[in-house]
Structure 1
Amino acid sequence: MRQPAPPASPPRASRPTLQSVLRRAHLRLAFVAVAMAAVSLIVVAVIALRAYAGNNLNLLARSLGYTVEAALVFGDRIAAAEAIGEIAGKEDVAEVIVTDGKGLPFAAWQLPADSAIARLERQVAGIALPGPVTTLVLHDGIVVGHVEVHGQGRQFFGFLLGGIGGILACLAISVFGAYVSSQRLLHNIVAPLRALADVAHAVRRERAFEQRVEPVAIAELNQLGDDFNALLDELEEWQNNLREENASLEHQANHDALTGLPNRVQFEWCLERALCGAAETGQRVAVLYLDCDHFKEVNDCLGHEAGDAVLIGIAARVRMQLREADLVARLGGDEFVVMLTPMREAASAGRIAEGLLASMAPTIVLPDGRTVATTMSIGVALYPDHASDAIGLLRAADAAMYRAKRAQPGSWQFAEGVAGPA
């Protein structure tokens, strides 16, 4: 039965960076602080201005009452209208109404509101300023009329516009200051964290354990960097130890523990690579199979420690007779093998074999001071003359070595198929 497809996982939301979070927090804090301060100042200013406007209207109403007192007594409406018009036109007044002692209209003055701004001013004044102020007009202690004054609100409206503009200006300055402050703070906080993240990424991707985080001014971030560097120190030490152990294990797997020469596995791998290169270039590769004569008698008569010293001495002498590009390995016991590459002619391999035999002529001094004389038998095989692969070349050289040992210990021979001196 066909299994239903698993539901698709929702897309992973992108996380905000620390820099964006801190910047938004600074801007939000600056906006809230400025807004609260501005609102508080405006509320206090409105209360104070409202009280001031109320007192001003009371004073103006009294002044108008004194002015129109005579006109009310003598019933001169024209004089009253001219008087209140002359005074009200210079003040922040929208309307003045004068009534007589019976409450009947006597005179009035009104500021024209022919523009949208004037109408808006009156609406704002009606909401924010105190209501119309009414005062009595007395003559010899008798009420002869009333004066009612309505405020215009132009000063209040101008103050309100100025306050809003001031708030916006302060808000802009505060936002700019918060931005500059946040940039400086981000440089002090985000930059060290970003440097630490860069080092962590380099360590994770490139294994660059040698990198370190630089010291910073902030104590907590500096402590974090120190702890991170201490962790890197441990990781670097662990990596170095692991590399040394791997190198040691690799060396042990590919080299002889006694002589330090490559072992059979390493030699065969190198020989196969050399044969592949020789197949492309058309050059020869020579293999020399070396076996120590009468080595068993050395072990039996002088002991294994003496035998080990003899093998170490033979390995050193063989290595000294070879070129830098040549390779010598210990196959096991008293058997050694040499690879000569490149080899242009067979006679060169024969000359190197003779040089190796000659290097064995001096006796080997043992650690206890005794000396041992030793000889070697060598078999020489060439690629592609005697074999086309590594195993065949080693077998041909081994067979030639045994023929040389049987014919005359301490001599060398070519593999069958190539003539050479015995």
Structure 2
Amino acid sequence: MRQPAPPDSLPRPTLQSVLRRAHLRLAFVAVAMAAVSLIVVAVIALRVYAGNNLNLLARSLGYTVEAALVFGDRIAATEAIGLIAREEDVAEVVVTDRKGLPFAAWQLPAGSAIGTFEREVADIALPGPVTTLVLHDGIVVGHVEVRGQGHQFFGFLLGGVGGILACLAVSVLGAYVSSQRVLRNIVAPLRALAGVAYAVRRERAFEQRVKPVAIAELNQLGDDFNALLDEFEDWQNNLREENSSLEHQANHDALTGLPNRVQFESRLGRALREAAETGQRVAVLYLDCDRFKEINDCFGHEAGDAVLIGIAARLRTQLREAELVARLGGDEFAVMLAPMREAASAGRIAEGVLASIAPTIVLPDGRTVTTMMSIGVALYPDHACDAIGLLRAADAAMYRAKRARPGSWQIAEGGAGPA
């Protein structure tokens, strides 16, 4: 029977191999933990931004299809959501009416197997479909559901995995060629790298970078991490810009650039709350173009758009920067004057607005048209105590002015009339 070899005859690892294995384990664990922490935090951050992006897009789509829902125009709603959705990272948009019945829909056409896989990844990693209410005069007229496509997220995921693999490859290479001195020198750079990853994970400080080091492999590792941080920071900045753009679209009129009804009512509500605390007045001017339909019928919709843009420019010029001018929809505009020291000042401002609208407007083809505005004026707290009531009172006064004499202004019933 063969006897086992004595312990002294067993092969023993050399110090160099032990140091290399220890260095390999240390580098692999540190890099893996740092990279995974960085990727997880970046994915969470991008998921949050993607959710906000979908919310803002849903609000923008809701404002876009509001009129179509009110008038039951399914074709217009389908075309409107298609124009916006094709430019965004969206897989599906569904619009339902107030009863929850399908009204309009848009879906990204079926693509390649990679595109299908991207959507499956998006369904798992990205926030679920976002649903928002579509309001008209404070009444729910429908819902908009938006589902993300995940193309951008999938590209980020592939880039992140590739970057991590490159970092790990550089780490393995550095571990095999290191010595005891390299092992001592490697601790500090790894700690610095882990510190950057920790700062990114805890504080989302994507602007931090790993400093250059003397060892080539670790310097390359730091460069790879810096490249990943550059990508994460770019993604973060791009999402912020997209969110800012979508927020602007959700709160401003696309044709004139003026605040829309949603923003006007919100700011009017805040102004009324401040006025209630200070005891001051707030005035609302409701403006309507008297010849807009005639201009559209005779000169075309491009001429109508030019007239609306011209009216918006004149309103901005006539009124102070602190006074809010908004386009409520169609040929209707509104002005908020806050605070108002004297009720009579609203009438003088209305007369000034009418005078500024009187000159002819030059159309893109060189022709000129003349238009008039009828204005209704309502004051807080004289005619209403909330934003919706104040707008309704000013709207009613505007129609009284239109019936009495187009191109004039009237104050809401219960207040002093024009001089």
TM-score for the superposition, normalised by structure 2: 0.55
Question: Equivalent of 1:234, from 231, 237, 246?
Answer: 231
| 1:288 matched residue in structure 2 | 285
How far apart, CA to CA, are the structure 1 residues paired with 2:290 and 2:338? 26
Matched residue SS, 2:288: strand
Q: After TM superposition, list the pairs within 5 Å mapping 1:14-413 onto structure 2.
A: 188-413=185-410
Letter matched to residue 224 of structure 2: D
Letter matched to residue 230 of structure 2: D
How far apart, CA to CA, are the structure 1 residues paired with 2:367 and 2:198? 62
Matched residue SS, 2:273: helix
| 1:417 matched residue in structure 2 | 414
* Cα 1:323–1:201 shift into 2, 3 Å: farther
Question: How many Å apart are 1:196 and its aligned residue?
Answer: 2.0
Question: How many Å apart are 1:360 and its aligned residue?
Answer: 0.7
Identity %: 88
| Number of aligned residues | 245
Letter matched to residue 379 of structure 1: G
How far apart, CA to CA, are the structure 2 residues paired with 1:254 and 1:205? 33
How far apart, CA to CA, are the structure 1 residues paired with 2:234 and 2:327? 34
Q: Deviations over 1:37-90 (max 9, x none)?
A: xxxxxxxxxxxxxxxxxxxxxxxxxxxxxxxxxxxxxxxxxxxxxxxxxxxxxx
Question: How many Å apart are 1:187 and its aligned residue?
Answer: 7.4
Asked which structure has the greater RCO (Cα within 8 Å, sep 6+), the reply is 2
Letter matched to residue 194 of structure 1: R
Taking only aligned residues, the RMSD between alpha carbons, in angstroms, comes to 2.2
Runs of 4+ with deviation above 6 angstroms: 184-187
Letter matched to residue 374 of structure 1: T
Q: Deviations over 1:307-354 (max 9, x none)?
A: 001001101111112222211111111000111111111112112111
Q: Deviations over 1:217-256 (max 9, x none)?
A: 1111111110011111111111121112111211111111
Letter matched to residue 192 of structure 2: A
How far apart, CA to CA, are the structure 2 residues paired with 1:197 and 1:371? 68
Question: How many Å apart are 1:189 and its aligned residue?
Answer: 2.4
Question: How many Å apart are 1:185 and its aligned residue?
Answer: 6.6
Matched residue SS, 1:316: helix
Q: Deviations over 1:376-403 (max 9, x none)?
A: 0111111111100111000000011111
Matched residue SS, 2:328: strand
Letter matched to residue 191 of structure 1: A
* Cα 1:299–1:187 shift into 2, 3 Å: farther
Question: How many Å apart are 1:204 and its aligned residue?
Answer: 2.5
TM-score for the superposition, normalised by structure 1: 0.55
Matched residue SS, 1:260: coil
How far apart, CA to CA, are the structure 1 residues paired with 2:213 and 2:418? 78
Question: How many Å apart are 1:193 and its aligned residue?
Answer: 2.2
How far apart, CA to CA, are the structure 1 residues paired with 2:347 and 2:205? 51
Gaps of 5+ in 2: 1-18, 24-178
